[in-house]
Structure 1
Amino acid sequence: MNCIIIDDEKTARIIIKKLSSQVENLTVVDEFSNAIQAIKYLNENEVDLVFLDFHMPDFNGLDFLKTINKPLKIILTTSDPNFAIEAFEYDSIIDYLLKPIELPRFIKAVQKVENHLSIAHGNTDDIKIKNDFYVNIDRRLIKIDLHSIYIIEAKGDYINIRTEEKNYIVHSTLKKIEEKLPDSLFLKVHRSYIINVKKIIDIEDNSVLIKKDIVPVSRSKKSDLMKHLDLL
């Protein structure tokens, strides 16, 4: 993977380059002390990954995210997790790293990007299914165990993630959440519902029973459900 670094601090750029050198198949092709220079570069060049510092003078990471008009895979670097939470509203943010950055956490973030790129290119054989993901609730990143989720329901501008432990109300769309979920475990069965197929108790003509909840299955999604469960 080719990557660039955007950070106004030279020391921070040196650290990321050093960490990158310890990750196989990760190459730093350029570095920038300000985001405007980086945007000019990205308008003319393709990269697999961007390490983006959030807190920069004049034109910060959020300004970069609002301005860039091409799809990117970005790992945010910051000293303040509150900035990371704000940036997670953008689909291009794959992960964030808190400074000072440690190698194991750095490697994990890079692996997430590799997984996203593999899915985009249709190469999913070597991807390990993740066990959890993060949602933004009241400016906090909350980790949710994927296997504990049984129903995700759209409610206007919000979604209700129902788990074994509790419900989470998140300001998001079903489409955005669906993109974060492994296809092997979750399926959208209705315009308002995503279900964990492992939690299905019973299937009727146009609905499934999960726990004590009856979830509607739209006519167009019925065949997808049957294929997913290998019932055709």
Structure 2
Amino acid sequence: MLKKTSSILIVDDDKVQHMINRKILHRFDPTLNLYFFDNPLEALEWLKDNSADILLLDINMPEMKGWEFLEIMTERGINMEVKMLSSSIDPRDIDKSKKYKLVSGFLVKPLNNTVIDELLN
């Protein structure tokens, strides 16, 4: 039986997206543990001692691109399922995401009910 998602780490520099995602995700499951970081460096620091079932990782952030974040995760041996987040569908990003074994999908912001239902079930 598949393990139900109970914790989600979201790394995205857009705080408005954090508010939207928190509302939508908790509407689906109020018991979800959600961890939001707008700074990828702080998220990497958090991952030294913590984990989540899935990571939603923004591709374009000012401090560090999602790809760099993935490289650091790989170097540190952090193994968790990752879904890449982007506000546009760039085929090059989708192709690039397939090169990382941690990445299991590519999601377009803002998240919608169908995507969240698939994510949680």
Both structures adopt the same fold (TM-score exceeding 0.5): yes
Contact 1:74-1:94 within 8 A present in 2 as well:
yes
Which residue among 97, 107, 111 is the counterpart of 2:107?
A: 97
Which residue among 40, 49, 52 is the counterpart of 1:47?
A: 52
Equivalence for 2:83: 75
Aligned residue identity for 2:66: G
Give the Å deviation of 1:7.
0.5
Contact 2:56-2:83 within 8 A present in 1 as well:
yes
Equivalence for 2:22: 17
Give the Å deviation of 1:98.
0.6
Contact 1:5-1:51 within 8 A present in 2 as well:
yes
Number of residues of Structure 1 aligned to a counterpart in Structure 2: 110
Root-mean-square deviation (CA), in Å?
A: 1.5
- Deviation >3 Å, runs of 4+: none
Equivalence for 1:27: 33
Aligned residue identity for 1:2: S
The structure richer in helix per residue is 2
Q: Matched residues in 1 for 2:101 and 2:42: separation?
A: 22
TM-score (norm 1): 0.44
Give the Å deviation of 1:39.
0.6
Contact 2:82-2:103 within 8 A present in 1 as well:
yes
**1:3/1:71 Cα in 2 relative to 1: closer, same or farther (>3 Å)?**
same
Cα deviation 1:26-63 (Å, max 9, x = unaligned): 321x2111211101100111211111111111301001
Aligned residue identity for 2:55: V
Aligned residue identity for 2:84: L
Q: Matched residues in 2 for 1:109 and 1:88: separation?
A: 18
Gaps of 5+ in 1: 112-232
Aligned residue identity for 2:63: D
Q: How does 1:187-198 map to 2 (within 5 A)?
A: none
Equivalence for 2:3: none
Q: Matched residues in 1 for 2:23 and 2:98: separation?
A: 26
Q: Match of 2:43, SS?
A: helix
Which one has the largest radius of gyration?
A: 1
**1:88/1:33 Cα in 2 relative to 1: closer, same or farther (>3 Å)?**
same
Q: Matched residues in 1 for 2:55 and 2:79: separation?
A: 11
Cα deviation 1:94-133 (Å, max 9, x = unaligned): 222112221112221333xxxxxxxxxxxxxxxxxxxxxx
Higher relative contact order (CA 8 A, sep 6+): 2
Gaps of 5+ in 2: 1-5
Contact 2:40-2:63 within 8 A present in 1 as well:
no
The structure richer in strand per residue is 1
Q: Matched residues in 2 for 1:89 and 1:107: separation?
A: 25
Contact 2:57-2:85 within 8 A present in 1 as well:
yes
Aligned residue identity for 1:43: K
